[in-house]
Chains A and B, each alone.
Chain A
Amino acid sequence: MSAARPDVTGIEAPVYLHYHFTAGTAPARFLARLREGLLSGQRCPRCGNVYIPARGSCPACGVPTTEEVLLPDRGTVQSFTIVHIPIPGNPIEPPYVVANIVLDGANISFIHLLSDCVNEAVRIGQRVQAVWRPPEEWDYAMDNIRHFRPLDEPDVPVERIGTLPVSGPGVPR
């Protein structure tokens, strides 16, 4: 036929699939409340645990959660990490702190940024509060909360983290 052509050793085959994503009934309620600047969890009718954000079930008991529980924007650091390595596409300048935070009245943590703090002084049991964006910027998104900042309160003992009432740790004994 013709002069030898180079072997084809690979092709590019990009995959694009388009989805109309929906979060679910329970997460949609969480997001709708978040749009109003409220933090909404759900309580398990069997074990009483409060989940935020709830996915519609108690993952421990396997039963639907329907009772809504509004939670304060104050909580406790359950664990954390100090990020030193830049992540491509992430606008946040390292080093910064990512923490698992349990809100007062909740029994499960979520991940958020912890800022306005001395990174080296962040610790498990530290009390924190949400720093919200201005209401006109609120959307159906967790970054309505810009970050959490430390509160000038006594630390919560490790064994009490994730068990506090909505009213918070109260007066230390």
Chain B
Amino acid sequence: MREIAVVAFSQSACVADIGAVNEVELIMPQLQAVYAQVGLNSAQDVDFVCSGSCDYLQGAAFAFVAGVDALGAVPPLKESHVEMDAAWALYEAVLKIRTGHADSALLYGFGKSSPGELPAVLSQRLDPYYLAPLWLDTVSLAALQARMLLDSGSITESDMAAVVSRSRQNAQANPLAQLAGDVGVAALLQDDYLLAPLRRGDCAPVSDGAAAMIIATVEQARRWGVPYVRLTGIDQRIESHNPCMRDLTDSVSTRQAAAAAGVHEAALDVAEIYAPFSHQEIILTRALGLDEATVVNPSGGVLAGNLMMASGLARVGEVFQRIVNGDARRGVAHATSGPCLQHNLVAVLEGA
């Protein structure tokens, strides 16, 4: 099988409301940044382009097509899109390269969540017959999941606050984070509930922004002469769309994806986990089988800033940057989609 290399990554700062900036203006700076890292001129210099976004965020049908204006598609490009986080655009591109249809790919994800009411907007991505008509919003669903975990006795509210505290601490070293600071568990537990048992800090903030990445075969990365990180495994699994039909206190799909991606074949220095709610980080850490030896979410994770449709790709990008900078040798990145961790992707990255 052809070996895949991650060669470039860039992400915008997470901001609560970027104001009068459209999706093209959101994407372009990140594309220019990854071109510069590799020394490329434009998207014409890669074999394949794939993006991830959600038209519901902008509230406009086919809004993702407008994003293509950022690419420079003359002459035409081989281009694709997933109505998902761009981590799944990465997955599509990996398949494209592994099957020999491309040697390199540009990926980008973008989300301007501020114009709408995000929890309600995301409710319309649920099963359209039984769940979406109930307007079952993401925060309510996550609160039910957290309640089940607490009732099972496998976590406490202090454990959840500890996740938030560490996120804020770690985010102090991340200039792109939206929420950072030195805040302790006791202080967090004094906050009122947003939706019991969730406090505001337990929920990822609403953020605007974009991220981009370039991957290639290892041979192409060497031809470009840029530092690269090997993507040695990637797998994704999905569970029932109906939250009542699965064990919400576990993430079976994450565990299966981790095994298939080869997470446990060697030690892990770093893990970047897409957990939009504090209790979900605990579920995922357990499902990924991580122990004390692995640093979890050194960026602060998405509790410090959550770029819808780009945060999953950004988890891979964060691990890439830590390995390329020499801070880690091997790491795991995780992305999620759907209510209560329905759909999960796991990628393993290793130094060249």
A17 touches B59 (CB 8 A): yes
Return the CB mask of A145-163 against B: 1 if under 8 Å, else 0: 0000000000000000000
Chain A residues close to B by CB (< 8 Å): 11, 13, 15, 17-28, 55-64
**Which of chain A's residues has its CB closest to B114's CB?**
A20
The count of A-to-B residue pairs whose CB atoms sit within 8 angstroms is 85
Chain B residues close to A by CB (< 8 Å): 19-25, 28, 31-32, 42-43, 56, 58-59, 66, 68-74, 114-117, 120-121, 124, 132-133
Known A13-B133, A60-B72, A62-B31; judge A19-B115 contact (CB<8 A). yes
**Beyond A56-B22, A58-B72, A64-B25, 4 extra complex contacts between A and B, CB < 8 Å:** A15-B132, A28-B20, A60-B74, A63-B42
Contacts of A25 in B (CB 8 A): 20-22, 25
A22 touches B120 (CB 8 A): no
**Which of chain A's residues has its CB closest to B57's CB?**
A19
Tell me, in angstroms, the Cα distance from A24 to B32 when the chains sit together.
19
B66 touches A21 (CB 8 A): no
Contacts of B115 in A (CB 8 A): 19-22
**Which of chain B's residues has its CB closest to A24's CB?**
B22
Tell me, in angstroms, the Cα distance from A21 to B56 when the chains sit together.
12
Partner of A22 from the list B20, B117, B132 (CB cut-off 8 Å) is B20
Partner of A11 from the list B68, B72, B133 (CB cut-off 8 Å) is B133
**Which of chain A's residues has its CB closest to B69's CB?**
A59
Tell me, in angstroms, the Cα distance from A58 to B32 when the chains sit together.
13
A27 touches B22 (CB 8 A): yes
A-B contact pairs, 22 of them (CB 8 A): A17-B117, A19-B58, A19-B116, A22-B20, A22-B22, A24-B22, A24-B24, A25-B21, A25-B25, A26-B22, A26-B25, A27-B22, A28-B20, A55-B66, A55-B69, A56-B22, A56-B25, A58-B72, A60-B72, A61-B72, A62-B69, A63-B28
A21 touches B59 (CB 8 A): yes
